[in-house]
Structure 1
Amino acid sequence: MATATPPPLSPPPPSQPPPRAADFRTVLSESRRMLKAHSRHFLVLYVLFLLPLSLCVAAYPILHRLLLSSFSSFSDPYHVQALLRRSPLLNQPAEHHQSSVDPRSVLVSVGYSCFLTLLFICATCSITYSVVQVFYGRPVKLPSAIKSIGTSFFPLLATLICTQAITSSIVIGSGILGFLILKGAELAIGHEISYSSPYFLGLAAAIAVALVLVLAYLQVQWGLANVVVVVESSYGFAPLRRSAYLVKGMRGVALSLTLYFGLLWGLLLCIGTLWTSESVIDGNEWRAGHEDRRGVREGVR
């Protein structure tokens, strides 16, 4: 009796390739794809928050003087030029320096910092919310992105305060450590160490390098803290711990992104500083030329 042969087994389905680990180029290309797919949405958010933030940071010296001018009288026709001439970007004579702190300058600086912090938090909340919606394939609407600011504003502010508290503590602690080391060395050798001494300069350089490395490490560890605040609705120190957990195995990518955007911000600040310096110099030259012409006219009379 013939037995039926079993049908041949079908070949196993091809195994799916493992997902490719995200690298620096992948992150940038994915970000570029999101921007192209929703260019108008992100352009509106850029104009609302990032563009004013960038302009304020780049033009801070001139804006600082012009804000101070609101407390002063404009009876002098050359008041604005005089404010520009006293810009801290230029070397000024000794009579322009004040030994006491101007409370108006402190008030303007505090208000200016609060305004920049407000723009930064609004930009972070709205853009992070929009990116998450695009990543999961959900519809992106501008009113929803603006509405997310009210939900995540105070948690993000609390997290920002925690990060600044930790960073300030590390900076102050490094300064105290350097002071103790310096005083200990002076007691050991029996005389005071000059600030121009190579030993003091070497100690300052070593502490500065160690401080930069520690702060850079913390910046990498906290790279996703703002995203965690918006997505998981946590605040305080919890997003910092969560971010440190999420960047495990991806610290190289996080460091590359930090350096990339840090260089962009540094380039923006350099361009703004050079532009501000040229504006100040042009104002001084215009004032000097106008005074020379007025002196010539008075001499002719």
Structure 2
Amino acid sequence: MDREQEEMQFLGLFGIFKESFKIIISWRKIFTQITLTLILPLTFIYLAHLEISNLLFRDIIHTEYEQEVTRPGTKRYNKLSDTLSSEWITFILFKFVYFTLLLILSLMSTAAVVYTIASVYTVRELTFKKVMSVVPTVWKRLMVTFLCTFAGFFAYNFLAVLVFTIFVVVLPYNTFGVVMLYVILIIYVIGFVYMTVIWQLASVVSVLESSYGFRAMKKTKDLIKGNHAIAISIFFLLNMSFILVQFSFEVFVVHGSSLGAMKRIWLGMLCLILLLSLSLFELVIQTILYLVCKSYHHENIDKAGLSDHLESYLGDYEPLSCKDVQLEQYHV
């Protein structure tokens, strides 16, 4: 990385994007290896799940329709009921396997990319083999952080549903009531986006510092103070790009049978490449945003301490205590 950490705080939205792109290009060999090994299967599974889910759900809808037009109690009706139950079980099991694989590959990709950028930052010897040997250890920390975040999202959504239900019952059904419900919905979306940003940066903290789980989330909450606008802008730009690619895939590939097989294949490959690039770009940006936030709060990363912390994942050093890995203050 060409920039000193003190300079990172001056990177704006486009500066972060530019710095991320420069790192990927400068270290394209190892990022290509990480992409082909982890991010490509992740992206392929994501897109394949859209196609398979559509096929499975279409069979369920067809069976439900057939059952509706069949007289109850007949042999055909009972057979359709058994078929429908089997199709729903298949659909649920498929979703379970999909989300499990998605979670594992997502956390492994995060571990590999964040560790790689940290190694570049500390000027450590870096090989693909070393990165992959570290991933299983870092993955455990990321899993704890994910489970804590999942608990936070569950509590947040439960409270949101409870509040929304209360307001639906209490508020009058008029213009004022409708406006208030929209206000509540907007507040919910803002909170959801904020928690998502916290989760993404907490994943970086879990790799680069000794904190993980709820401690990493608390540290991230303090870390993004003063950079909320940039963090949320990055979230919206990347997620809108993801949504656009997914929408295109569903329209032209999943539901685009009229286009012909070859066009659907080429469009599917294009969507795969776009999502592949966006996924790698997002993971790199998250780490650069972490460095920008640290620089903004005038916290200087002790490169030697961070290097030892990274080395501890390989088993050559004892894991550092919290104070050893913490970033020291510098004054400008």
TM-score (norm 1): 0.69
Residue 5 of structure 1 aligns with which residue?
none
3-state SS of 2:125 partner = coil
Give runs of aligned pairs for residues 125-164 of structure 1, distance below 5 A: 125-164=111-150
| 1:25 aligned to which of 14, 28, 32 | 14
Equivalent AA in structure 2 for residue 86 of structure 1:
D
How far is 1:146 from its partner?
A: 0.7
Q: Distance in 2 between matches of 1:279 and 1:87?
A: 20
Q: Which segments of 5 or more consecutive residues in structure 2 lack a partner in the other structure?
A: 1-5, 69-80, 262-332
Deviations 1:32-59 (A, max 9, x none): 1111111011011111222222222233
Residue 59 of structure 2 aligns with which residue?
86
Q: Distance in 1 between matches of 2:185 and 2:59?
A: 31
Q: Distance in 1 between matches of 2:92 and 2:23?
A: 41
**2:95 matched to 1:95?**
no
Give runs of aligned pairs for residues 19-98 of structure 1, distance below 5 A: 19=7, 21-64=10-53, 86=59, 94-95=65-66
How far is 1:119 from its partner?
A: 0.8
Q: Distance in 1 between matches of 2:14 and 2:150?
A: 30
| 2:255 aligned to which of 277, 281, 300 | 277
**2:216 matched to 1:264?**
no
Deviations 1:38-95 (A, max 9, x none): 10110111112222222222332323367xxxxxxxxxxxxxxxx685387xx99733
How far is 1:261 from its partner?
A: 1.6
- Provide closer, same or farther for how the CA distance between residues 199 and 49 of structure 1 changes in structure 2, counting only shifts above 3 A: farther
Residue 230 of structure 1 aligns with which residue?
207
Q: Distance in 2 between matches of 1:133 and 1:38?
A: 11
Q: Distance in 1 between matches of 2:40 and 2:209?
A: 27
Between 55-64 and 149-158, report the one with greater CA deviation: 55-64
3-state SS of 1:248 partner = coil
| 1:255 aligned to which of 232, 253, 258 | 232
- Provide closer, same or farther for how the CA distance between residues 87 and 61 of structure 1 changes in structure 2, counting only shifts above 3 A: farther
Q: Distance in 1 between matches of 2:39 and 2:230?
A: 24
CA contact under 8 A between 1:23 and 1:253: conserved in structure 2?
yes
CA contact under 8 A between 1:178 and 1:203: conserved in structure 2?
no
Q: Distance in 1 between matches of 2:46 and 2:175?
A: 36
**2:258 matched to 1:243?**
no
| 2:110 aligned to which of 117, 121, 124 | 124
How far is 1:272 from its partner?
A: 2.0
TM-score (norm 2): 0.63
Q: Distance in 2 between matches of 1:202 and 1:93?
A: 38
Equivalent AA in structure 2 for residue 229 of structure 1:
S
Equivalent AA in structure 1 for residue 191 of structure 2:
V
CA contact under 8 A between 1:87 and 1:280: conserved in structure 2?
no
**Root mean square deviation, CA, Å:** 3.0
Q: Which segments of 5 or more consecutive residues in structure 1 lack a partner in the other structure?
A: 1-17, 67-82, 284-301
> Equivalent pairs: percent with the same residue?
21
Q: Distance in 1 between matches of 2:229 and 2:36?
A: 31
- Provide closer, same or farther for how the CA distance between residues 96 and 124 of structure 1 changes in structure 2, counting only shifts above 3 A: farther
Equivalent AA in structure 2 for residue 159 of structure 1:
T
Aligned residue pairs, count: 239
Q: Distance in 2 between matches of 1:276 and 1:63?
A: 9
Q: Distance in 2 between matches of 1:131 and 1:104?
A: 40
> Larger radius of gyration, structure 1 or 2?
1
Q: Which has the higher contact order (CA 8 A, sep 6+)?
A: 2
Q: Distance in 1 between matches of 2:48 and 2:166?
A: 39
Between 115-124 and 239-248, report the one with greater CA deviation: 239-248
3-state SS of 2:256 partner = helix
Deviations 1:122-169 (A, max 9, x none): 100001100111122222210111112111111101111111111121
Higher helix share: 2
CA contact under 8 A between 2:205 and 2:211: conserved in structure 1?
yes
Deviations 1:231-275 (A, max 9, x none): 114321011111122222222221222122212211221122121
